[in-house]
Amino acid sequence: MKRNFLTILTVFGLVTATAVGCSTDAGGNNAIKIATQSPLSGSSSTLGEAIKLGAQLALEENQEKFKKLGFTLELVPFDDQGDPKVGVSNAQKLAADQSILGVVGHLNSGVAIPASSTYENNSIAMVSPANTAVELTEQGKKSVNRIVARDDFQGPAAFGFATDNLKAKNIFIIQDKSAYGQGLAENFKKVAEQKQAKILAYEGITVGEQDFNGVLNQVVAKKPDLIYFGGLYGEGGLLVKQAREKGLNIPVMGGDGFDSSDMVKIAGKGVKNTFYTSVAADISNTSEGQNFVKKYQAKFGDKKSVQSFSYYGYDSMGVILKGLEDSITKNGNKKPTREQVRDAIRAVQDYQGIATKVGFDAKGDNKYAKVFVFQFEDKYPGKQVGVIEKQ
Amino acid sequence: MKKLASLFSSSRTFQSVLILLIVLCTSTSLYLMDKSVTSFLLLLFSFLLLYYTTFSNWIKWGAGALIAFAVIPVAASGGPSQQVYMEVAVMAGIYIAMALGLNIVVGFAGLLDLGFVAFFALGAYVYGIFASPQAQALFHNSSIFPLGGESFWLFIIVGALVAALFGIILGVPVLRVKGDYLAIVTLGFGEIIRIVFNNLDKPINITNGALGISGIPQPKLFGFTFTQASHIYFLVLIVLGFVIYAVRRFEDSKLGRSWKAIREDEIASQAMGIPLVKTKLWAFALGASFSGMMGVLFAAKNQFVDPTSFTLLESITILVMVILGGMGSVPGVILGAAIISILNLQILTEITLFLTQNLHVPEVFSPAKMQRLLFGLVLVGIAIFRPQGLIPAKNKTYKIADLKAKLSKKNTKTKETTTSI
Amino acid sequence: MQEILSTLPQVLLDGLTLGAIYAVVALGYTMVYGILELINFAHGEIFMAGAFIGTALLFTFVDIGLALNWLTLILVLLLASLLTGVLGVGIERIAYRPLRKAPKLIPLISAVGISFILQDLVRFIAEYKTGNYIVTGQTVFENKIAIPAFSIGGYDVHASAIKSNTLVVIGIAVLIMIVLDIFVNRTKWGIAMRAVAQDRDTAALMGINVNKVIALTFFIGSAIGGATGVLYAQQYATINPFIGFILGLKAFTAAVLGGIGNIRGAMFGGLLIGLLEVFAAANLGILTGGALGAEYKDVFAFIILILVLIFKPAGLFGQAVKEKV
């Protein structure tokens, strides 16, 4: 009994002792914090980290400017682990920190939707660099914005390109059964059905699998002239690789989930004749883009390759800081409230980011969101082969 | 340290002074400071101290209820972090109840269940489907659906029943399988449920597939909506109180003793006349029902369910709670569940933030990523060094004399009644 | 029907490849279960560790300028299986041996713990070294072999291709199985292993060093598991630390299907599960008219497992064991 008590006491002592060092204080009155929420661990951590690093770069570049206004800027990165529970719990945590005035996040719509309720309740502005799920902005939340195109724009855009430019008539759709993949594939399928294209099959695979030969055999049997894949580069790369090994040389098309340097690494030489839609134009050849890559790798090391999500993270943070600046001026150079920042961000009309122009409509969707179509040759990023504007 | 411990266990005045002091100090500092994880944890620590006092059970329960219902919510309401503490407390409460459910299956009956989260998912989805607009997609042009937040109270029970029903449906065939095979079969079942929920968007859209169900209403009572974590907190407390009470009662019942007998020796207990399958089924059904109940609460709190919340890691997490606390020990399991869930939701993220922000430690080393390693170490460490857990299970001891006295009392009573007729 | 038949040769070949991998991993489960009556949950992770060790070795070989050919592959296979074999023995020594007399639940929990530790350790190392734990490695045999279109009895079979590595995987897996079968049935150590599996105490009385035999079992089981990991990494090129768990589960299903403890049964079970899985993924959509798709293939694997355990717990080739009282 006594010994038990002692063990437990020491266990608890240790736990609390470690926690003591961690109780962070609120900081000075003129500290403004912006949070990021993206998966920094788990299977999509490459993308999540790109968002965080992009946002970090934008924030650090603006620190000087805000210092002149009398404010210190600080980044608080949260790891949502791609898990809704963790995302919501983090959202509560950052809501409690009154100096946090905005959030860049999330990567997964499945996390963004439940977390956005918490942001809305606490009037924290959220600018999403990645979520394409339609529902996110459909609930009329004042604090939810995104700079990327929605699935119901990306899907039809992809379909238009597939039928017009690739002359696809018989399409085989595969999706990875994740919230992202399903949303994308379903919107593609919806348009295809309206336009009376022939959908040969609508199949699902499992995230984390390595062997897609089963589904690919079905593709061989049905002889489509295009595979549309809703999912991320991890499975997409393997799927493309194994399709080529089977002698399937038909075009494969995907969404912005293919938009990663790992896609080329995984798919290898087979990546040729693979297409993807993305919301960011290819800026790697422009001086701005090369400049960005230089800054990025100087800061975070050569190991961190620049992803498209680095641009999105950078631009999302840019939009938040623009709104923040506007609200500070409006407030007579005093620290603005969360509500003021939220409304100022929604009011942003033509912010020129590095990857996209941003202006929000009444729902918080980006008016200027375009969809660009890329073709992989043998390196990342692919060659830009088409642009689709919003109708 | 030793002196302190012996002083603690011998003097009741010391006990009450210590607890009062801790509660007072921590709650005032929690109330006054903006954010103080330490005082919140120490405040929770007072429950553990309370457990080790030598007061009678009534006083312990009363004091515990007072701290849980009054001191914590008031103390937390001081700063802007109120909802954070409440969020953590709510999740901890949900996990404690689930761990207590799993404890019936693993701890009392000795059946290793690695797919326990399936029942949690069932509860969450039952409420999610019928109370949200998803029901309208399912039952076209029906005016009853969606049921709305008032139906939450009904669904707490429905969720428990559905989970129990699935527990039995799974149990009937599975319980013929023994020991370690059972672990694998339940693991398979857990995965099947998750995969099926992930794919039931076609041919008929029941679960909305991987997109999950959003727009689940929050509980409503007489026009009041439980919107904040601090509102849900009281709900969780009430449910948790019920669960603890029920588990305690079951443990010492005839059923509870049969579970333990089966755990120790199946053949011997069968020879003593315990119906094996029926007893095991009860364990499965009851354990599952607690989990289903918490699933409903979880769905109502998050207003969103999707299959990613119900992975194998989740099942293992609940198992780690039970093993860490002590299999078969109700206070132990409560402690284990509290430690692991607070560790997961609060301490690990705080430490990670601290390390990456203030010390600029690279992301790779952040402890929040090491969750699996940590759980693995806990499992192996406990298995090798302390298989009975932090607070080992105590079997109630019966004295023959007491039992006889009880029996004769009963007999005389029945005799009296018979003579009076 | 036409659609199913037109890809049948492909399906069979893909199924055999996957099945061969399951079969060799299943051997590890079956050997350990036969001797300790313990489901070695960590075996899937040993397989995964083999895949990572093999990939790392190939990277180092390329760095020091060795050419990639069949000789380097064999060298990598031997080194990786040696390392994973030692890993297996270490795990047995640390996490299982102290628990040999404990209630059955306890070593199982320890096994689950070890499997989590291995996953996270490998993840950590990979992430630390490369910045990402999804690792794409070198492949030794990459050329494709084309299969021309042909028709039998009026059914057209589509033209397709396989890569040469597929044949390497099947070849080496079969070789491992044959050697193991001879080892267990014909050698002195093999006989000792079977004796310990049958009755540990009596075997000890007959002068067999039980601890040594158990360690040897772990070494062999883990070594061939690790070697399969290398083959797997060769076949699919991209690996992550979590490939072992579900694959291990399916391999365990295979072991149960063939009768756990039965080495030939495990081989057969592995091939059967692999074939069924690929067949289901390729044809479920066609058979059900699109109502159920390839995403349900894992459900089928688990349902097979549950059905076998319930109706024929001894498996297809196993002998029913009476409970020791």
Q: Which of C18, C136, C280 sits opposite A211 (nearest CB)?
A: C18
* Residues B330-347 pLDDT 10s: 989 999 998 888 887 777
Return the number of CB contacts < 8 Å for A and C.
Answer: 121
- Average the pLDDT over A269-296 and give the result: 82
What pLDDT was estimated at residue B95? 93
**The pLDDT of residue C92 is above 90:** yes
* Residues A115-155 pLDDT 10s: 888 898 888 999 999 888 888 888 888 899 998 888 888 88
Q: Which of A208, A214, A241 sits opposite C237 (nearest CB)?
A: A241
Q: Which of A208, A217, A221 sits opposite C14 (nearest CB)?
A: A217
- Average the pLDDT over C303-318 and give the result: 79
What pLDDT was estimated at residue B404? 83
Judged by CB atoms closer than 8 Å, whether chains meet at A218 and C163 is answered as no
What pLDDT was estimated at residue C205? 92
What pLDDT was estimated at residue A26? 42
In chain A the beta strands, taken as DSSP E runs, fall at 31-38, 72-79, 100-105, 125-128, 144-146, 170-175, 198-204, 226-230, 252-254, 274-278, 351-352, 357-358, 371-375, 383-388
Confidence of residue A2 (pLDDT cuts 50, 70, 90): very low
Between positions 331 and 370 of B, the ones with CB within 8 A of A are: 335, 339, 343, 345, 347, 349-354, 356-357, 363, 366, 368-369
Output Rg (C-alpha) for chain C, integer angstroms: 20
Helix (H) or strand (E) holding C161: strand C160-163
* Residues C143-190 pLDDT 10s: 777 777 777 666 677 766 778 888 888 888 889 888 998 998 889 999
Percent of chain A exceeding pLDDT 70 equals 91
* Residues C201-237 pLDDT 10s: 899 999 999 999 999 999 999 999 999 999 999 888 8
How far apart CA B163 and CA B117 sit, in angstroms, is: 11
Decide if B387 touches C, using CB distance below 8 A: yes
More confident residue, A339 or C260: A339
Instruction: Enumerate the domain spans of chain C.
Output: 24-240
Enumerate the residues of chain C whose CB falls inside 8 A of the CB of residue A215.
281-282, 294
CA distance to partner chain A, nearest, from residue C51 (Å): 13
Bridge partners, A31 (sequence order): A72
CA distances A15 to A20, B96, B220, B344, B351, Å, are: 9, 19, 37, 12, 11
Q: In the block, which residue shows the tokens 């095979």?
A: B181
More confident residue, C7 or A74: A74
Q: Which residue in chain B has the smallest CA separation from A41?
A: B369
A28 — phi, psi (to 5°)?
-70, 175
Q: Which residue in chain B has the smallest CA separation from A109?
A: B211
Enumerate the residues of chain B whose CB falls inside 8 A of the CB of residue A4.
390-392
Enumerate the residues of chain B whose CB falls inside 8 A of the CB of residue C120.
370-373, 376
How far apart CA B392 and CA B406 sit, in angstroms, is: 29
Bridge partners, C135 (sequence order): C239
Judged by CB atoms closer than 8 Å, whether chains meet at B312 and C128 is answered as no
Report residue B395 as tokens. Answer: 């079997």
What pLDDT was estimated at residue C81? 94
Contacting residues for C89 by C-beta, under 8 A, at least 6 apart: C215, C218, C219, C222
Judged by CB atoms closer than 8 Å, whether chains meet at B364 and C310 is answered as no
What pLDDT was estimated at residue A196? 80
Judged by CB atoms closer than 8 Å, whether chains meet at A18 and B347 is answered as yes
More confident residue, B142 or C303: C303
Confidence of residue B158 (pLDDT cuts 50, 70, 90): very high
Enumerate the residues of chain C whose CB falls inside 8 A of the CB of residue B186.
none
Q: Using the CB atoms, write b or e for B127-154: b if 16+ within 10 Å.
A: bbbbbbebbebbeeeeeebbbebebbee
State ipTM: 0.87
- Average the pLDDT over B253-277 and give the result: 90
Judged by CB atoms closer than 8 Å, whether chains meet at C95 and B191 is answered as no
- Average the pLDDT over B118-137 and give the result: 86
Question: Any idea what the Cα angle at residue B380 is, between residues C88 and B330, rounded to 5°?
Answer: 155
Cβ burial of B125 (10 Å; 0-12, 13-18, 19+) is buried
Q: Which residue in chain B has the smallest CA separation from A25?
A: B35
CA distance to partner chain B, nearest, from residue C83 (Å): 21
How far apart CA B75 and CA B68 sit, in angstroms, is: 11
Q: What is the DSSP letter of C139?
A: -
More confident residue, B363 or B157: B157
Q: Using the CB atoms, write b or e for A83-122: b if 16+ within 10 Å.
A: bbbbbbbbbbbbbbbbbbbbbbbbbbbbbbbbbbbbbbbb
Alpha helices, H only, B175-228: 179-199
**The pLDDT of residue B419 is above 70:** no
Residue B183 CA from chain centroid, whole number: 20
Mean pLDDT estimate for chain C: 85
Confidence of residue B303 (pLDDT cuts 50, 70, 90): confident
Decide if B373 touches C, using CB distance below 8 A: yes
Between positions 56 and 115 of A, the ones with CB within 8 A of B are: 76-79, 81-86, 88-90, 92-93, 95-98, 109-110, 113-114
Decide if B388 touches C, using CB distance below 8 A: no
Question: Any idea what the Cα angle at residue B114 is, between residues B111 and B118, rounded to 5°?
Answer: 110
What pLDDT was estimated at residue B55? 77
Judged by CB atoms closer than 8 Å, whether chains meet at A5 and B52 is answered as yes
Ramachandran bin of B148, using left for φ above 0, alpha for ψ from -120 to 50, beta for the remaining angles:
left
Q: Please report the DSSP string for A225-280 in residue order.
A: SEEEEES-HHHHHHHHHHHHHTT--S-EEE-GGG-SHHHHHHHGGGGTTEEEEESS
CA distance to partner chain B, nearest, from residue A242 (Å): 24
**The pLDDT of residue A22 is above 50:** no
CA distance to partner chain A, nearest, from residue B410 (Å): 35
What pLDDT was estimated at residue A316? 92
Cβ atoms of residues B368 and B134 within 8 Å = no
Percent of chain B exceeding pLDDT 70 equals 93
Judged by CB atoms closer than 8 Å, whether chains meet at A214 and C279 is answered as yes
Q: Which of A11, A22, A178 sits opposite B37 (nearest CB)?
A: A22
Nearest to A54 by CA among A369, A287, A356, A387: A356
Q: Which residue in chain B has the smallest CA separation from A74?
A: B357
Q: Which residue in chain C has the smallest CA separation from A207?
A: C295
Residue C157, helix vs strand vs coil: strand
Cβ atoms of residues A180 and A230 within 8 Å = yes
Set out the domains of chain A in order of their start, with CATH numbers: 31-148+286-360 (3.40.50.2300), 152-278+373-388 (3.40.50.2300)
Number of H helices and number of E strands within chain C?
A: 12, 6
- Whether the full predicted model's pTM is greater than 0.80, yes or no, is yes
Mean pLDDT estimate for chain B: 82
Cβ atoms of residues C32 and C43 within 8 Å = yes
How far apart CA B197 and CA B189 sit, in angstroms, is: 12
Judged by CB atoms closer than 8 Å, whether chains meet at A113 and B392 is answered as no
CA distance to partner chain A, nearest, from residue C38 (Å): 27
Residue A144, helix vs strand vs coil: strand
**The pLDDT of residue B164 is above 90:** yes
Decide if A29 touches B, using CB distance below 8 A: no
* Residues B194-216 pLDDT 10s: 888 888 877 777 888 887 887 78
**The pLDDT of residue A85 is above 50:** yes
Q: Which residue in chain B has the smallest CA separation from A205?
A: B199
Judged by CB atoms closer than 8 Å, whether chains meet at C116 and B373 is answered as yes
Enumerate the residues of chain B whose CB falls inside 8 A of the CB of residue C291.
202-203
CA distances A268 to A155, A339, C130, C131, C142, Å, are: 26, 49, 18, 19, 11
Ramachandran bin of B280, using left for φ above 0, alpha for ψ from -120 to 50, beta for the remaining angles:
alpha
What pLDDT was estimated at residue C323? 53
Pairing outcome for strands C144-147 and C160-163: antiparallel
Judged by CB atoms closer than 8 Å, whether chains meet at B188 and C325 is answered as no
- Average the pLDDT over B295-310 and give the result: 86
Helix (H) or strand (E) holding C12: helix C8-36
**The pLDDT of residue A20 is above 60:** no
Residue A383 identity (one-letter amino acid): K
Decide if B179 touches C, using CB distance below 8 A: yes
More confident residue, A80 or C322: A80
* Residues A176-228 pLDDT 10s: 888 888 888 888 988 888 888 888 888 888 887 888 988 888 888 888 989 99
Cβ atoms of residues C258 and A169 within 8 Å = no
- Map B17-45 to HEC letters: HHHHHHHHHHHHHHHHCCCCHHHHHHHHH
Cβ burial of C41 (10 Å; 0-12, 13-18, 19+) is buried
Judged by CB atoms closer than 8 Å, whether chains meet at A221 and C7 is answered as yes
Judged by CB atoms closer than 8 Å, whether chains meet at B203 and C291 is answered as yes
